Structure 1
Amino acid sequence: MVACSWLCERRNKEEACEVSNPKKGRKFKNFIWQLNCPSKIKQFMWRAYKNILPTIYCLKLRKIPIEDACGVCGKVESSGHALWDCEVAGAIWRESKLPLPSFKTSLCDFMDVVWEIWEEKREIIWECFATTAWCIWKNRNSLKFEGRGKAVKTLVKEAKLLVEEFSSKKIKEKQPMLSRTQAWSPPSEGWYKVNVDGVVFRESNSCGIGVVIRNVQGQIMGAMSKKLNLPLGVVEVEAKAFEEGLQLAGDLGLKQVILKGDAQIVTNALFGKCLPPTSIQMIITGARRWRHTVQEWKVSYVRRTRN
C-alpha cells in the first residue's frame, strides 16, 4: 500500500509539472528533435522526457508485478536512478568528463538532471550528453537481461565515437556535390572502357570493389561489386580493383580494354612512371600476365567526379 501511494503521488506530481509549464516542455521537445544525432537517441531522450522508459517505477505504475530493486545496487529503479544515481551510471558520467551538475539527494527522474543543465545554460555538447545517456540505458538492459555489461571506459569511448561518426556524416552531407565537368566519353571502335573503383570500410576491417564495363555506344557489357573481408589500405584496394576489372573483362571474352580509375599512384605505377609502393608491388609486377586475360589493355587516370 505504501508503494502504491508513493507511485500515485509521483504520477500526480508529473501531471502537474506537465501542465504548469507547457511552453518549457514544447521548447525542449523541439530541441530534442533538432539534435545532431541518430533518431534512436532522439527517441530515447523523448521517452526520458515523457518518463515512459520501461523502468521498474514505470512498470509498477502500469500495475505490472515486478521486483522493484535495481539489479546492480538493490535500490528502487526509476529513470533518475537507472541513468544517474546507480553506481554504474555514475561511473560512466564521471569518465565522460562532461560539465554536469551535482545533487545532494537521490533523483527520481532523469529529467531533473536535464532541466538543471537546461536552465543553467551550461556549455555542454548535448549530443554527447544524450548519446552517453543512451549508452548507459543500453548497458542497463544488457546487465538486466543478459547478466553482462561493458567496461566504463569502453562505453564512454563508444559514445564519443558515435557522436564523431554522425557529425562527420552530417558534414559530408552539407558539402556541395561537385558537378561533372565532362560527360563520359566512349572508347575507340572495338575497345571497351572499364571503370574501376575501391572503398575501405575501416569500422569492419573490410573493403569493397566496383567495376563497370561499357562498349563504344555506352551500353553496359558487365558490372560487378565485391566485398573483401581483408584489412586493405586505400592504395591496395584500388590496385586490386584494376586487377578485378581486367579479370571480369577476360571472363566476358573482351579483347581490347581501357582501364580507368581515380587512383593516380596506381595508374602511374602501371604506366611505369614510378616505382609501385611495396604493398602493391606484387599486383603491379603481375600486370604483365594480364595479356593472358585480354589481348590488349591500356590504363588511364580519371578524376573521382568522372569515374
Structure 2
Amino acid sequence: MAAAVAAIVAAVVIAVAVEESMATAAAVVIAVAVADGWEEATVDKLIKEDSRTWDDDVINGLFVPEEAAIIKSIPLSRFPTEDKLFWPWTQTGKYSYKSGYRFLKYEDEVSGATDALAEDRNFWRSIWDLCVPNKIKKFLWRACREVVPTKANLKRRHIMENGSKNRVAWTSSKWNGYQNISPVNFKELLSWIFKNHGNPERFAMVTWSLWNQRNQVRLNKPCCPSNLIEAQAKEKLEEFMATIPDKPATLPRQRTNWKPPDARSFKINFDGAIFKQENKNGIGVVIRDHTGAVMASLAQTVAPAMQPIEIDAVAVARALEFGEEIGITEAVLEGDSELIMNSLKGGGHSIALVEPLLHGAMVFSSRYANCYTLIVEEMAID
C-alpha cells in the first residue's frame, strides 16, 4: 500500500454498507495532526505483516480513540494488494450518473437531516402506504403539493380571478376535533388526520369524492348529492377493500437437503454472523466427506463488527484457508451469499467494496487441485 498516512489523516474514510445490492455511505473526517516523523509513512506501517492485522499500538498512539476505532474497523485482506481507486456507490466500483445523483441526494439529506425533514418523509410515505386506489393516492399527493387546479390555486397562479371556494358540509363525526384546528393548507389537514388516527383511508375517499363531484358539476354531468358523498365514499372504500386478496400465509422455510460431494472430494460449508451489541462477528465452517461425516469444524470470532458483505467475504477466505490447513486438495465450497459466490465464480472482481478481501479467497482456492462453488438454496416445506 503506497498511500501515505498523512493522506489517511486528511482524507475521508468511507464506510459502505451493502444490502440487497444497494450501497449507502456515511463519511467520517479524520482530522488529527500527523505525528513528527510520520509525514511520509505509508499505510503498511499501520499493519502487522505477519498476521495481516492492524497494529493496535501504533494506531492508538497516532490517532484519538474515535478515529483509531474507525481505522481498525476496516477489514484487511489476507494478502497484500495493490492500491486501487473505486466508486463506493456502485457494486462494480465504476461511476455512473445515477449513482452520482444518489450520492448527492444522500449528502443533502445527511447535511440537512432534522426532525422536520424526517417527519416530512414519513408523511409522504404514509400517503403511498394508504389502502386506497392509486388514483386517490395521486390526488392526495397533488393536493398536498397544491397542484390540483382548484379556484384558489388558479387564482394564485394568475390564471383565474375569482377565488371563491365551494363549501361542502361534512356530515360525519369520524374526524372529531378537526373543527378546532385551522390548517393553512390541505397538507397540514391531512397530516393532522394521520397523527390523530382519523381513518385516513375514508378521509381520502371523501376528499376525492368531493373533488370528483366538483368536476362533474363543472362539466354539467350527473353527480352525487353533497349529503350522500360520505356514504358513497364509504361504500366505494369497502368495495375496494374487498378486492384486496388476503396475504398468503408465510410458509416455514428450510434449507434443501445437504448434498454430498463425490467420493474424492469434500464439501466446505461456511457462514458469517454479526453481533452488533458485542461489536464482533462470528465465522462458522463445517467440512464433510462424501458420506456426510464431519471431518473438521471451525468457530471463530472476529472483531470489530463488519457489514454483512464484508464478514461473508472474510468467512469464505477463512473457510478455504481452514480446508487447506487440514490437508484438503479437492473441495466443493458452499455458502448462502449469492453476491459473494457469484463473484468468486467470476474471479472475485465484481464487488469493488470487498475485492481485496475476496483476493484472499482466490489465492487459497488456487492452491486446491480442484475447487468449485455452490450457492445454498432454500425451499418452502410442502
User: TM bucket by the smaller chain?
Assistant: 0.3 to 0.5
Please state which structure has a larger fraction of its residues in helix. Answer: 1
Select the structure that is richer in strand: 2
Structure having greater relative contact order (Cα 8 Å, sep ≥ 6): 2
TM normalised by structure 1 equals: 0.39
